[in-house]
Amino acid sequence: MSERILVAVAWPYANGSIHLGQVAGAYLPADIFARYHRLKGNDVLMVSGSDAHGTPVTLSAEKQGVSPEQVFGRYQAEFLDNWERLGIGFDLFTTTHTDNHTQVAQDMFLTLYKKGHIYKDTMSQPYCETDRRFLADRYVEGDCPHCGFESARGDQCDNCGRTLDPQDLINMVCKLCGNAPIIQETEHFFLRLSAFEDQLLEWVRKQDHWRSNVKNFSIGYLEGGLHDRAITRDIEWGVPVPLEGYESKRIYVWFEAVIGYLSASKEFGQLNDNEDRWSDFWQSDSRSYYFMGKDNIPFHTVIWPAMLLGYGGLNLPYDVPANEFLNLEGLQFSTSRNWAIWLPDYLDKYEPDPLRYVLSANMPETSDSDFTWKEYVRSNNDELVATYGNLVHRILTMVSRNFDGKVPEAGTLDSVDNDLLDHARRSFDETEAGIEACHFRAALQSAMGLAREANRYLERQAPWQTVRTDRQRAASTLWVGLAVVNCLKTILSPYLPFSSEKLHAMLGFDGSIEEHGWVWDRDELSPGQPLGTPEPLFTKLDESLVEEEAEKMAG
C-alpha cells in the first residue's frame, strides 16, 4: 500500500554557502529518507528552498554593495548546483521570494488575523534618525551588559552567547552609520502563541515516536509558558503586510519562512499542472517529517504547529527528527570565523558518495559528532574501499575471469551459503526498519555488517581455490556472493546513490534503481545474465590529503 510522505527540510539563509554541518544535520538525512520511501513506491514530496528574506541577506547585500535580489539569486543558483552534485533529490527547492510564497504567507497572516490569532500592539524599537529607519536586531551593536564585549549584536552577544534585546546594549550604535539610535514606539502585529499552549502541550505529550530530546525539549519549552511574539518589522525587504496602512511593514522572517513548506508544496503542484496536489500532503492521510538542526526545534514543534492549528485544516508535523550538531576538527562550524568546509569547495575536489558515507556513519543523531579529514580518509579507505568496494570488486572479477562474465548457475547450497543469505535478509529488514525510524546511522551499520560478513564468507568458501577443484562449488559460492552484492546495492542506495546506480548496471540490470525498487530476492539474478565490466566503485585517498586540508583551514 502506497503511503504519502512529506519530507520538509530546513530553509538555508541565502547569504552564504552550505557547509558540511548543515548537510549532516538536515539535507543528507532528509535525502536518505526520501530516497528510501521513493524506492518503496511511496508518494514522496521533498521540499525546501532558499530563505531569501531576513536580515542576514540584507546585511550581506549592503556589505557587498549589491541588491538583496543579487545575493539570494547567487546562492539559490549555487544551492541548486550543490544538491545536484551531492545527489540531494529535492522535488522542489524554491525560494521565499516568489509571488506564490508571498500569496500563501499573506493568506496565512490574514486568516490568523481574521480568526483573532494575530493582534495589533506597540513595541519599542531602535530608530536611526540619520538613516531614517527602524533598525532590526542585527543592525545595532554595542557593549554587552553581561560581559562587556564591545561588539555585541542586538539579538545576541557573540562573546558570552547570551540572547539580548537591543535596548539592553550599552552605547548602542547603528551599524550603518555609526550614530546612536533612539528608541521609538512602533505598531506591530503579534501572534497569540499563548492561546495554543495547552493544546500544543497535549499534542506534544502524545508524540511517543519522537526522539526523546526533541520531545523533552518541546515539553519544557511549552511548560515554561509561551509568549506572544511580534511577527512584523519595519523593514523593506520581505513579504508585505497585507493590510491597508501598513505598507511600510514586512512579515518577520521567522513567521514567514516556515510557511515555505506549505507554499513550496503548492508551487510544486502548479509546476506539475495539478493545482490540488499539495492537499495530498497537507490535508489527507499523509505523514510529514521535518529535518533540521537542534537549534531549530521550537520553530517546528511549537511555533509552526501553533500556526497550523490556528489556520485550521492542515496536518501537523508527524515527526521532527532534529539532529544535534556536527563539529569540525573538535570546534564548532563558524561562518564568521570561516571555520567550515563549504560544500561547493568539497564537491569541486572530491566525490559525493564518500562524503555521504562518512557523514551518515557519523551522523549527529543522539549527540554532537565530529568531522575530521583524518577520519574522512580513514573511513573512505578502510570501510568504503576495503570492506564494501573491494568485496564487490573481488566477486565481480572472479565471475568475470572464471565464468565468462555471466551469472553462474548455483548447485546445491550448503549451510554456510544459506547462513549468509539469511544474514542478507536480516540486514535488508534491519536497514529498512532503521531508516523508517530515522535511525540512519544504525541502519547503515547493519548494511555494512553484511558486507563484512560476506568477506568472512568468501574467506571460508575460498572460491579462488574451489574453482580449480570443484567448479560447481565455486559457481554456487559466487552466485551467493552476487546475490548478496545485489542486496547491498539496494540497501546502500539511499546512502550511496551514485555508486549503487553504477553497481546496478555492473550487475547487468537495465534501468535505474528507483525503477527497481526497495526489494531483494536471492533469485533475482538469473543464471546466464551477462555482467558489465567490473570497475572499482570507490577510490583510495592519499593520506597527504589530511595535511593539505589542515593547512588550508589554518590559512
Partner RNA sequence: GGCAACGUAGCUCAGUGGCAGAGCGGGCGCUUCAUAAGCGCUAGGUCACAGGUUCGAACCCUGUCGUUGCCA
Q: What residues line the site for RNA (CB under 7 A)?
A: 161-163, 212-213, 216-217, 220-221, 224, 227, 294-295, 297-298, 324-325, 330, 332, 362, 364-370, 372, 375, 378, 381-383, 385-387, 389-390, 393-394, 397-398, 441-442, 445, 452, 455-456, 458-459, 462, 464-465, 536-540
Q: How far is CA 360 from the centre of its chain?
A: 11
- Minimum CB–partner distance for residue 294 and RNA (Å): 5
- SS3 (DSSP) at 553: helix
CB of residue 204 vs RNA: minimum separation in angstroms? Answer: 12
Helices assigned H by DSSP within 206-337 = 212-223, 253-257, 260-271, 279-282, 297-298, 304-311
Cβ atoms 87, 497 nearer than 8 A:
yes
Strands 232-233 vs 182-191: parallel, antiparallel or unpaired: unpaired
Minimum CB distance to RNA smaller for 148 or for 178: 148
- Min separation Cβ 1 and RNA, Å: 30
In whole angstroms, how close is the CB of 551 to RNA at the nearest point? 20
530530546: which residue's cell?
Answer: 213
Choose between 115 and 452: whose C-beta lies nearer to RNA.
452
d(CA 175, CA 181): 10
- Helix or strand run (H / E) with residue 409: none
CA distances (Å), origin 318, targets 210, 291, 300, 437, 511: 9, 11, 11, 12, 33
Q: Which is nearer to RNA, 118 or 398 (CB)?
A: 398
**Cα–Cα separations (whole angstroms), residue 432 to 47, 283, 287, 519:** 23, 27, 17, 10
Distances in Å between the Cα of 74 and the Cα atoms of 50, 59, 70, 263, 447 are 11, 15, 6, 22, 39
- Of the pair 382, 515, the CB lying nearest RNA is at 382
Q: How far is the CB of 537 from RNA (least distance, A)?
A: 5
Quote the cell numbers at residue 273.
499542472
Query: Please, which residue, 340 or 398, has the CB nearer to RNA?
Result: 398
Comparing CB distances to RNA, the nearer of 452 and 552 is 452
Q: How far is the CB of 224 from RNA (least distance, A)?
A: 6
Kindly state the smallest distance separating residue 427's Cβ from RNA, in Å: 13
CA 477 – CA 413 distance, rounded (Å): 8
3-state secondary structure of 371: strand
Measured from the CB atom, is 103 or 213 closer to RNA?
A: 213
Nearer of residues 67 and 216 to RNA, judged by Cβ: 216
3-class SS of residue 118:
strand
To the nearest whole angstrom, how small is the minimum distance from the Cβ of residue 278 to RNA? 29
Q: How far is the CB of 365 from RNA (least distance, A)?
A: 6
- Cβ(407)–Cβ(528) under 8 Å? yes
Cβ neighbour number for residue 306 with a 10 Å cutoff: 23
Distance from first CA to last CA of the chain, Å, rounded? Answer: 54
Nearer to RNA, 249 or 441 (CB): 441
* Least spacing, CB of residue 209 vs RNA, in Å: 15
Instruction: Walk across the sheet containing 232-233 and list its strands.
Output: 232-233, 250-251, 239-240
Nearer to RNA, 83 or 210 (CB): 210
